[in-house]
Every structure is written in structure tokens, then in C-alpha cells.
Structure 1
């Protein structure tokens, strides 16, 4: 037999096996398989890319049957991992919206097939937004090489660059934000000699010089007003300190910080004496969905960096009148984290106005390197707060954002290896019940092991981001537009 025919027969055998993986197991065990990513018993939207996976341990073969509630099924097998047909996967999920899929898995080791207990994948009736936008950044502290802000379509594995720092030599891109997941209104920051705040509104793109005589820094940590007429920012004097222990490598601290609101239409900065105080650090603002409150984190000022472990932020709010661009007179403390020797960071209200999700840590305001960081949910109506136990892990849970319908949230987690942040998505129902989170799927399950970049600031987007980078490049070589102070 010629070598060509041998290869042809081998290829045919592989195809037949892949299309008809009816395996007769040598043993059946009543245990869930240990797979990566862990997609056992997760809740997903119908428009999610196939959840390909592999066994955590090395195996000689793997086969899976994915069955719908009406008996329709997909059978697939492979040498190292399970890879579903995108067409068949999409059809199966859409035929089973509001139902559950059963997954039966068998793995081959030492010439024996072991079949595991069946697990479920729940297909939610709640839709999800078009995609995610995030920054990919190497785990460096003082310098950066290649980095960028990227977008990913959730229904596929397609990832595109929105903007990369190679566009402008020596720059850093960060602080991307969208109004209610709509990328037609967008703010992002370019740090460096040719830096500034890039603002996109109504199809127009401009570069803002945001440092004013009354502020301590350029604008950072943006959050859009639902009307699109305002953006809340913080202004921070940010420093880094380094730990000698491996559990906490770096601490990002503010030696001072304030809040401002930028009037998009008038190119003016609005100030409020109650949230620009010397005896408090204020940071991470966010508007309520009705636009009438400004939420933020506030802590008693301490001597930095000596007292950085004594800085604890509470969840606070102040009234805001969008018609006049004015603030209330009283700052309310909604959740006193300092009283329980904890600190709050990243308060993010759900678009339906029912909840505020935040990260709780032992101290400070930058949770990304705090292994104790967990997600919590504050009920706006009752004032009750509870940990999101279904979503939390034994490692860092950090930045999070909501889908436009308040039924999904995405967050950063270091649960895989404690080093790199990865994006996880969870379903949350109308009663605040949270489903098991699932890792953003990739075509090859080994993708994350080979990726030496962290996902930073994952944000939902309801359509593809359209930003003309050549316009941004041109603006970066101009003086930009100075932000004015409202008198």
C-alpha cells in the first residue's frame, strides 16, 4: 500500500471518528469531569460562541455528546479537546432557549474510555449585548510595550483592535468608557507626551486637554451620564508601592483625589465643593440610571504612602440635577465599609436601577492585586448588601460591568493562576440570583495558557466600535482642545 493511500485512509478514519464518536465506555463514574474551562452547569445566552473545552489532565482522546431538550444533539470528538461546529452549536442553542442542554463526556486514558456524569448548560431567555471591549496589557508596572484596547464579538471568536499604543510612539491607552454600552458615545485616554482624552460623540472625534488650574491631574476613571450630556471623572495623584511578598505584588494608591463632572456640550468642567475636599479621597464615580445621583467612593485622607493600609473607602452618593448641572448639598453614605474594616471600589449601578455592584477589599481602592477582593451587590431599595458567592473565588475578583438589560455582568478574575486577569460572564436574574460564571470562550481552550496579557476593564458594547484611528493619530499631533472651567 502506498504512503499516499495510507495517509488518505488515516485522514478518512479521523473524519469518520470525529463525525460519529459513539464510544463504548470501559467504565462509567458518577463524577463530573474536570474540564478547562469549567463549563459544567453554567448559564449562557443563546448568542454565545461555542464553549470548547479540554480535560484538565492529559488524555489520549475525548468525546462529547451535547443533547437538547427535544432530543436533537451534537456529537464531537478530538485528540486533546472538544471543538463544536459553530453552525450546529448556534442552531442547538437557539432551538433550546429557556431550556437546558445535557453534556455527556468520555475521555480515553491508557486505552480505556471513562464516561463521566452528565452536566448541564442552561440557555437563558435573556439576550446579551453584541460584544465586549477591553484592554490587553502585559503584567508590567512601570513600563509598557505593546498594548491596546480591543473588541470581541460574543457570538464568535472575532477580536479586533480599537486602538493600539503603537499608533502613537511612547503612549499608553486606557480608561475606555461607553454610554450605556453604546460605542457611539466613547471616552478613552492616551497617556504620554502626545496624550489627552479622546472623546467621540455624534460621530465627531476630538482630543481634550483635561488638566485645569483647579484640578490635580488629567481626567481618569470615566462614567457617562445616561443622557450623554455629562461624563463624571476623577482626578487623582496616583502612585505605586511594591510589596516584598508574592501574594500582593504591587499597590496602586492615591495621595490625593477629587471628582469632577464634564459638560460634553459646553466643554466645561463642573465642580462641587462637597466632593472636592482635602480631608477626603474621592474616586470611581458613576451616575445612577435616572441621572439624578452621582455614586462614588470616599475615604478619610491619610498620610501616604505610610498609612496606605488605613485607607478605607465607603460607598457614597450626592444628588445631581442634569437640567442645571448642579449638585446637592449633602453627601450620603450608603454603605459604611470602613466600619467593618473593609474598603469599596468600582461601584457600578445596574441599568435597571435595582443594584450597585462593587468590589470589597481589606483596604485601598485598587483591587486588582488583592487576592481577598470579592464582588458584592447593594440593593438600592432596601440598602441590603450581600456577597456574590456564586461568582466569587479564592482569588481576585475585580473590575466589572453590566449588560444593557441588567441580566448579565462581566468581571475580571485571577482565579486560574493568580497572575493574569481573565474575563468571566455571569447571569443574574430579576431577583438578584447569580448563576455560575463562565470564562469568555475561545476556539482553542489552550488560548489562555499561551496568552501573556491580562484583560483589563471589560465593558459590554451593543454594537461594533467604529473609531477612526487615523483621526486620533492626527489629533495627537495637534494641541488639542482645552477644557474650560465653569465660573
Structure 2
């Protein structure tokens, strides 16, 4: 009996040694969490996410030793210059610990001496990601001249990134405003600016290039959002201008001399307008459909004298009924969130696909939130009417453009919280009560190197349930050809 007890104690002792200090000799215990980049301490992740590789923020360390233990079993151990996990091993560990936790033990060696920090945990969510990856635009944060930029997609289970289309396809081209139907890229749209302007629609691999502007609209088709049926796509048409601040903490301001909202019917190339959505004294903008397709949400503000009174440009959230059977709008507009009464402006409304919420950005004025440090994320509960600031995911710098995944348990959004200059992508989970987890930075294979050396900002992110199949070479030839399909405008009777 005594011999068995000795063996058991030896086994436990060996396990503890392996779990806490494997490959580490006589570490000094430090009563603080490790200083790592990115900050993954206490975040919640989906099973399918790429490894949470990280670096020490101390440039003088000689080595890092990391042990990850699953609350439901499994362990990873590595030692090197950074935490660089094997993708297959990582996914085996997250799958084994779905609904549990991963505990990280981090040691660093400096001047030959190991230090062991307090453990931290990462929760592995029960909610599946249900998406292949992300799409986004990547662009240098310039103002009037842009260098290499384009639309890209990223496999969220690993670190692979693929271009959808880049401006190297057509010199001087800018691409923006991309959107898929409820994260399904079989129906995909984006806008092309420049000498060969167009609005591209792709359905099941077949592309159409629409004229970039329609004289009856007075502008182009921008800020698209698909109807859940795929039979319609909502747009706004904007006469956009930009100005530049002289204040050190403010850089650029975007405002519209005018803007209207409409719905486009791809099958007939028909633009469906309505006088309620195209008013003289108000700017309607950024339309989105409800998940059942029977409501069109959009933001609107009183038209101002620009650029003199740009700080008076403040938007509310409105809605109007929409009948997908007839393509007709309702007879009245309702304001469902009055941001102006708070002295604020609302932008980028995005309904969750389960119909529970609308996620939006709130700022002091305007709608182009990416350069507004005060911009934050807010949530409207459509069942109770309650509106609250999402303090659990907001930062002191610009938190902006966002989208939901298809099961409405994950969001992706842009934030400048990292350095105040570049907008980067963060993900967070949402539980059944509408509570959000601590956001985490989009993982990269070598995160410190990647983000320090990148000169690009990420914006307009969205989830995609599969890889976007797009022939960029053929698309480039089609753009240069200037062969375009015209659109027609109609105003259906009530």
C-alpha cells in the first residue's frame, strides 16, 4: 500500500512538473499576468478559430515557454521565441474542450533566468462559428491617394488569406462596399470607383456590371445590403465629400451633400424608389433589411449647410415596411432610435440574423465613424426596445464597422484600440442574454511581426460561410471594357 502511494505521489509530481515548468529550470514566480501581444487573456473563442499565437511584449527575453491545458483534457507545450502553435494540434485541443477552458502557463527567460507568470484562461465557446472565414477591404490609411488595396478573404481556421480583387487589376481603381447575402457569397456585390466605375453583381459565378451612376438617382449605388430572399438589394446613393481637420486628434471628415435610399431588383435591373426615402431636406443612408425581409431599416438626418455645419449632421434610426411579393414600401416611416435627442449620431445599423437585435455605432456627429475616436458600439433589443452601450467590447479609440455571423453568436468589428492609427479586426461572442465577451484581435501566425510591419487598415469586415469564388483576371478585363448594363428607375404606386 505504501509503495502504491509513493508511485501515485511521484506520478502527480511529474504531472505538475510537466504542466507548469516543462523545459524550465527553477523559475522565479511572478505575481502578475504575462505581458503578451495580442492580449488574449480571458477571451472567448470558437472551436474553429486559428491558433492564438502570441509574443511577449518584452523585446529582451531569450525564450518563451508555454503550456496549455484543457479543462476537459489535452495539453500543448512549446518553447521558442514566440507562442506558435501547430494548427492541427490546436484544433484537436479546442474541439476536446468545447464548452470548457484552456489554461495557459507562460514562462519567459531573460539573462538566463526563467520567470513564471500567473496562469490565464481562454474559454472555448459552445457556440459554433458556422462560417468559413471573413471578407474585408484592406487599404493604406491615406486620404486622397491610395496605394495597393483590394478586397480580401481569410480562412478563420488557419492563417491563409486570399485576394478577391486588387486594384493592380486595373490601375487607378478603388473597390469598396462589398456585401454577400447573409454571409453566402453565391450572391456577391461590390462597387468600383475610378475611370471605369461600376457596380458588380455576381450570382452563382455569373457577373453583371452596372453603370456606376444613374442620372435619375443623382449618384452611384453604394452601401449595399441583400434581401434575405436574394431577390432584392438595398442601396443608398450619396453625393459624398470629405474635409480635413487641423486639430491633432481629428483627421478627416466625410459628409454627404445629399443621400437617398432605394431597393434594386437585379432580375429586372429596376431601381425601386419612393418619396418617403428620397426627401429634399433629409439625408437617408445605409439601408439594411430585417431577417424576415419585411422591414427596411435605415438612418436619416436633417440636411445641413456643409461644410460649415458638419457637426450638426446627426442621424437617427428609422424603419419602413417592405413587401417582397410586390416590391412596395409601407406608407409611413417610424423612428425607432432617436440618437439626436441624446446629442449623438447613429451609423452602420446591422440587424442580427435571429431578429433579436440591431448593432450600431454611436458617435458625436456624422456617420463616417472610423476616424471618430469617440465612436462606440451600442445594441438595440428589438423585443424590449432597450438600448445600451456595449461597454464590454468598447475602447477609448474608434470602434466601428461591424457585422454578425449567421447564427448571431459572433460579431466582427473594426477598432483602432491597438495604436490609434490602423483599424484592425476584432471578434467577440454573444450569449443568449445579449452579453458580449472580451474581444480578441484576429489571429496571425506571427502577430507582432505582422501587425507592426503592416501598413494597411482593415475595414468593412463581414463573415462568409464559404470561400468567395471570383475570377479577378476576367473581372479586370471586364472592368476595362466599360461594357455596362443600364438601370431604370420606378416609383411603384401605393
TM-score normalised per structure 2: 0.93
Q: Equivalent residue for 1:450?
A: 453
Cα contact 2:197–2:212 (8 A) shared by 1: no
Q: Note closer, same or farther for the CA distance 1:245–1:268 as it changes in structure 2 (3 Å cut).
A: same
Cα contact 2:192–2:212 (8 A) shared by 1: no
Report matched runs for 1:163-174 at 5 Å. Answer: 163-174=165-176
Secondary structure (helix, strand or coil) at the match of 1:282 reads strand
Give the counterpart of 2:358 among 356, 360, 364. Answer: 356
* CA-to-aligned-CA distance 1:310-360 (integer Å, 9 cap, x gap): 111001111111111111111111110000100000000000000000000
Shift of 1:210: 4.3
Give the counterpart of 2:408 among 406, 409, 423. Answer: 406
Q: Equivalent residue for 2:245?
A: 243
Q: Which runs of 4+ in 1 moved over 6 A?
A: none
Cα contact 2:347–2:369 (8 A) shared by 1: yes
Report matched runs for 1:190-201 at 5 Å. Answer: 190-201=192-203
C-alpha distance in 1 between matches for 2:330 and 2:72: 57
Secondary structure (helix, strand or coil) at the match of 2:186 reads strand
Secondary structure (helix, strand or coil) at the match of 2:213 reads coil
Report matched runs for 1:155-166 at 5 Å. Answer: 155-166=157-168
Q: Equivalent residue for 1:459?
A: 462
* Matching of residue 262 in structure 1 with residue 232 in structure 2: no
Cα contact 1:421–1:455 (8 A) shared by 2: yes
Q: Equivalent residue for 1:3?
A: none
* Matching of residue 31 in structure 1 with residue 35 in structure 2: no
C-alpha distance in 1 between matches for 2:73 and 2:409: 28
Cα contact 2:73–2:96 (8 A) shared by 1: no
C-alpha distance in 2 between matches for 1:400 and 1:191: 23
Cα contact 2:236–2:260 (8 A) shared by 1: yes
Secondary structure (helix, strand or coil) at the match of 2:331 reads coil
Cα contact 2:73–2:97 (8 A) shared by 1: no
Between 26-35 and 271-280, the greater mean CA deviation after superposition: 26-35
Secondary structure (helix, strand or coil) at the match of 2:89 reads helix
Give the counterpart of 1:484 among 469, 482, 488. Answer: 488
Shift of 1:21: 4.3
Report matched runs for 1:10-49 at 5 Å. Answer: 21-49=22-50
Secondary structure (helix, strand or coil) at the match of 2:165 reads strand
Shift of 1:213: 2.7
Shift of 1:25: 4.3
Q: Equivalent residue for 1:114?
A: 115
Q: Equivalent residue for 1:12?
A: none
* Matching of residue 203 in structure 1 with residue 209 in structure 2: no
Give the counterpart of 2:233 among 231, 234, 259. Answer: 231
Secondary structure (helix, strand or coil) at the match of 1:206 reads strand
Report matched runs for 1:410-425 at 5 Å. Answer: 410-425=412-427
Shift of 1:146: 1.0
Secondary structure (helix, strand or coil) at the match of 2:123 reads strand
Between 476-485 and 454-463, the greater mean CA deviation after superposition: 476-485
C-alpha distance in 2 between matches for 1:211 and 1:42: 44
Cα contact 1:25–1:106 (8 A) shared by 2: no
Cα contact 1:291–1:320 (8 A) shared by 2: yes
C-alpha distance in 2 between matches for 1:454 and 1:259: 28
Report matched runs for 1:84-233 at 5 Å. Answer: 84-128=85-129, 129-233=131-235
C-alpha distance in 2 between matches for 1:71 and 1:356: 38
C-alpha distance in 2 between matches for 1:422 and 1:78: 27
Between 106-115 and 167-176, the greater mean CA deviation after superposition: 106-115
C-alpha distance in 1 between matches for 2:26 and 2:470: 53
Give the number of aligned pairs. 468
* CA-to-aligned-CA distance 1:146-189 (integer Å, 9 cap, x gap): 11100000001000000001111211111110000000100001
Q: Note closer, same or farther for the CA distance 1:25–1:174 as it changes in structure 2 (3 Å cut).
A: farther
* Matching of residue 440 in structure 1 with residue 442 in structure 2: yes
Q: Equivalent residue for 2:15?
A: none
Q: Equivalent residue for 2:83?
A: 82
C-alpha distance in 1 between matches for 2:188 and 2:157: 23
* CA-to-aligned-CA distance 1:235-267 (integer Å, 9 cap, x gap): 001111101122111011111111111011111
Shift of 1:63: 0.8
C-alpha distance in 2 between matches for 1:474 and 1:249: 36
Cα contact 1:424–1:440 (8 A) shared by 2: yes
TM-score normalised per structure 1: 0.94
Cα contact 1:210–1:482 (8 A) shared by 2: no
Shift of 1:86: 1.2
Secondary structure (helix, strand or coil) at the match of 1:331 reads strand
